[in-house]
Structure 1
Amino acid sequence: MWNTLLINPILNILIGLYKLTGGNLGVAIISFTIVTKTLLIPATIPALKMAKKQRDIQPELEKIKKKFKYDNKKQAELQMELFRKHGINPASGCLTTIITYAIMIAIYRVISMFTMTDNLSSLNERIYLNSLKFASHEILNTKFLYLNDLTKPDPYLIITILAVVAQFIVTKMTMPYSKVSSKAVRQTPGQADDMIQAMQKQNLYVMPIMFFIFGLKLPAGVMLYILVSTVFQVGQTYYFSGWGGLKSWISKLKFGKKDI
């Protein structure tokens, strides 16, 4: 079922794009990623709007923390009431994340097929159209830019590092922009931040670290998908909700330039 619903369709699309781009697997992966992310925009917009709402109510959340900093139960009640009032669902956006990672796993499986088969013609039974099928003597071109083989890990980790930076940026963008939020949290001794902020702060470092670990083992083609997908997400997030939590860093950079 997994093969029928996801792996085989992605295999066929990638091979179609590969042949359409003159036998360039890297360009095929980039094109596939852009098309996929574009098709997911309708499902992504609600999550981006929800993230913007969370940032917009941050001042009210800080007031609640300050007023009831020794009453965790009251804080939780008022926070949930505030979420309901503004129609905020902390679990929103999970679907697009699941789809993105499901596609990543499928691409990994597809690229693995290219390396595990002695002859590309053995893949033909998975290919729907005769025009896309490989000839028995055909060789897959896995070179892209400085990489000799997209089916193997990037030896220089360039794509991996770029993916890590992009993931850090997009995670920071989804966090609230507030000059006093961190101070408000520190003023509450022995108390954890609210659930949403705690998850965001954890993801800010956990996800980039995970991507770096992935890059050590995963084929460069998979990391290329992750990089393009994340860069697309950065642009998408900026378009719909601005710089978000990254705004304070950008302001510091602009201020620093004036001093030079």
Structure 2
Amino acid sequence: MDSQRSFLVIALAIVSFFLWQEWQKDYGPKPIAAPTSVEQTQNITPGSSTTGSNGDIRLTGDDAPSQVTAPTTPSAQLVSVATDVLNVQIDTSRGDIVGVTLPEYDLTKDSDQPYVLMRKLPGFEYTAQSGLIGADGPDDQTNNRQPYQFAQQQYQLAEGNDELVVPLVTNFNGLQIEKRFIFSRGQYDVRVEYFIENQSDVSKRVQPYRHLVQNIDNGESSSMMMPIYRGAAYGTSEERYEKYDFDDMAKKNLAINTTGGWVAMLEHYFVAAWVPDQTTSQRLYSMVSGSKGVIGTRSDVIELQPGASTVVGSTFYAGPKQQDKLAELANGLDLTVDYGFLWFISQPLFWLLTTIQSFVINWGLAIIIITIIVKGVMYPLTKIQYESMAKMRNLKPKIEELQARYKDDRQKMGPAMMELYRKEKVNPMGGCLPMLVQMPIFLALYWVFVESVELRHAPFMLWITDLSTKDPYYILPVLFGISMFAMQKLTPMQVTDPLQQKIMMWMPVAFSVFFIWFPSGLVLYWLVSNLISLAQMLYIYKGMEKKGLHTKKA
């Protein structure tokens, strides 16, 4: 098979792949301004509770959490917390996280505004809620309670300190509750702990929950060339990573029992996640409540005898999709860096890319070097491809002779062709194998460049200031088209059909147009790959000509 036919296969594969991605209809919200005040909107709790005849807490609509209107709490305020990597706002009515800003990440390239991940504004909500429900829980929908009390309204991680503790305190129906947010320097994960003491003379039963709430549709959508997933995901002891988008929520409420696990909301380079105690039983749930999607996890009921106390903890993460950090928090949480079905190729490539970058300190140079490595590893296959193509050209007269001899007998032509290939030691599919190997690598690198937050706003040189976005002047796609045209000239097509010839002639133009929307880092990779291929072709053809094999069409 000649290279032009292989290029056509690649083009059709790419088109099919991205058309399939377009059907997924994933969404990616753009950050908006940070919240400035508490908005008295609806709170969502994981079901109302009743006490059964056996004394167990039962949640009404167990797999379909309900929406309730929170009691009016005029005294509720925002507590602001600032660390070196997080700015967080906590609503004291229930201790919910209603704002998260990431000062280490710009809103846009060279912007002086930080990236706002979570916020609660009129018409839009993206928050992290948690609490204690059950017959004696203060956050049950039937209970009217006072907001948490706090010592100060603003907290700042002091220079030289590695930890900051923000305590909120309340007393409800004989339960003394302290909700602690524990922040660490340089960390995007926050430890959220409940210190609960039963100060009454009767037993108390509560059930911890935590979930994420987000508006389903904010009017922003991904494009065909940048199919960014926006929605929920979860992990269990059996399934490390599963997407559960808002359409899934609308069709069916998630209801899974597991040990440990996690739930998350994703938006391109960033993730918010709840990670409960990984050794305890959890109930993962979801729902659609009005215009909001909810995904969460609920722990088993805790019974406290009079005078008893306990500590219940979980981890909240809000920040960039840093794979190594996420992998430490929960099994499969690192897969929120979604490399798709080729993750097993993308992850090693990402590791190699970051390792190279740690030495060269430039992501563009790292991409060039990894391209050289990939092409070097694939050189034996490339050599097989071009040698196979040359042998097929040399066999063309004999093939045409067989075709003329058996033009009226197709049954005899097939075996005669196979015998000719065996005798001449030619594999007619030898030119396809390298292309079939390169295609998964191409797609795997595509997801590395699209999904890896490390490449977000990463500059290369000259006009390429962000390798994660398209070339602003389309220079790299044009250079790629020229390199592809040069490869065509070096291996002239053998097809005689005029229509096929025109398709092949316009292939470089079609690819250049496709690559206009691709991340410039990916186009840089493919351009360098083509240049290396040109050099390899010249070298291989020169060696074959010395052996008497024709490398060009006669």
Q: Indicate the TM-score class for this superposition, using the shorter chain for normalisation.
A: 0.5 to 0.7
2:428 aligned residue (75, 86, 90): 90
Report the residue type matching 1:104 in the other structure. F
Task: Report the Cα offset of residue 29 of structure 1.
Answer: 0.5
Separation in 2 of the partners of 1:171 and 1:79? 27
1:105 matched to which residue of 2?
A: 443
1:159 matched to which residue of 2?
A: 476
Relative distance call for 1:174 and 1:79 in structure 2 (3 A) is farther
Separation in 1 of the partners of 2:506 and 2:417? 25
Relative distance call for 1:202 and 1:62 in structure 2 (3 A) is farther
1:53 aligned residue (391, 399, 415): 391
Q: Is the 8 A contact 1:13 1:32 kept in 2?
A: yes
Separation in 2 of the partners of 1:11 and 1:203? 35
- Greater Cα shift, 75-84 or 216-225: 75-84
1:222 matched to which residue of 2?
A: 522
TM-score scaled by length of structure 1: 0.65
Task: Report the Cα offset of residue 210 of structure 1.
Answer: 4.1
Separation in 2 of the partners of 1:224 and 1:203? 25
SS at match of 1:11: helix
1:11 aligned residue (350, 367, 374): 350
Q: Which protein has the bigger helix share?
A: 1
1:142 matched to which residue of 2?
A: 459
Q: Percent identity?
A: 28
Q: Is the 8 A contact 1:51 1:174 kept in 2?
A: no
Separation in 2 of the partners of 1:148 and 1:31? 19
- CA shift digits 1:22-54 (9 cap, x unpaired): 2x1111111000011101112222222111112
2:363 matched to which residue of 1?
A: 25
Task: Report the Cα offset of residue 149 of structure 1.
Answer: 1.3
Q: Is the 8 A contact 1:25 1:144 kept in 2?
A: no
Separation in 1 of the partners of 2:506 and 2:422? 29
Task: Report the Cα offset of residue 60 of structure 1.
Answer: 3.9
Separation in 2 of the partners of 1:213 and 1:103? 21
Separation in 1 of the partners of 2:405 and 2:399? 11
Separation in 2 of the partners of 1:48 and 1:172? 14
Q: Is the 8 A contact 1:104 1:225 kept in 2?
A: no
Separation in 1 of the partners of 2:388 and 2:357? 37
Relative distance call for 1:86 and 1:11 in structure 2 (3 A) is same
Relative distance call for 1:63 and 1:165 in structure 2 (3 A) is farther
Q: Who wins on radius of gyration, i.e. which is larger?
A: 2
SS at match of 1:109: helix
Report the residue type matching 1:148 in the other structure. T
Relative distance call for 1:58 and 1:113 in structure 2 (3 A) is same
Relative distance call for 1:90 and 1:3 in structure 2 (3 A) is closer
Separation in 2 of the partners of 1:222 and 1:72? 49
Count of paired positions: 206
Separation in 2 of the partners of 1:166 and 1:241? 18
| Superposition map of 1:115-126 within 5 A | 117=453
Report the residue type matching 2:384 in the other structure. P
Separation in 1 of the partners of 2:408 and 2:473? 48
Give unpaired runs (5+ residues) of structure 2: 1-339, 543-549
Separation in 2 of the partners of 1:94 and 1:204? 17
Report the residue type matching 1:5 in the other structure. F
Q: Which protein has the bigger strand share?
A: 2
Task: Report the Cα offset of residue 102 of structure 1.
Answer: 1.4
Separation in 2 of the partners of 1:237 and 1:231? 10
Relative distance call for 1:85 and 1:170 in structure 2 (3 A) is farther
1:236 matched to which residue of 2?
A: 536
Separation in 2 of the partners of 1:76 and 1:28? 51
SS at match of 2:516: helix
Separation in 2 of the partners of 1:12 and 1:57? 44
Q: Is the 8 A contact 1:161 1:212 kept in 2?
A: yes
SS at match of 2:468: coil
Q: Is the 8 A contact 2:474 2:516 kept in 1?
A: yes
Give unpaired runs (5+ residues) of structure 1: 124-138, 186-191, 249-260
2:490 paired with 1:173: yes
1:131 matched to which residue of 2?
A: none
TM-score scaled by length of structure 2: 0.33
- CA shift digits 1:152-193 (9 cap, x unpaired): 1112222112211222222343347xxxx88xx6xxxxxx69
Relative distance call for 1:81 and 1:72 in structure 2 (3 A) is farther
Report the residue type matching 2:472 in the other structure. P
1:129 matched to which residue of 2?
A: none
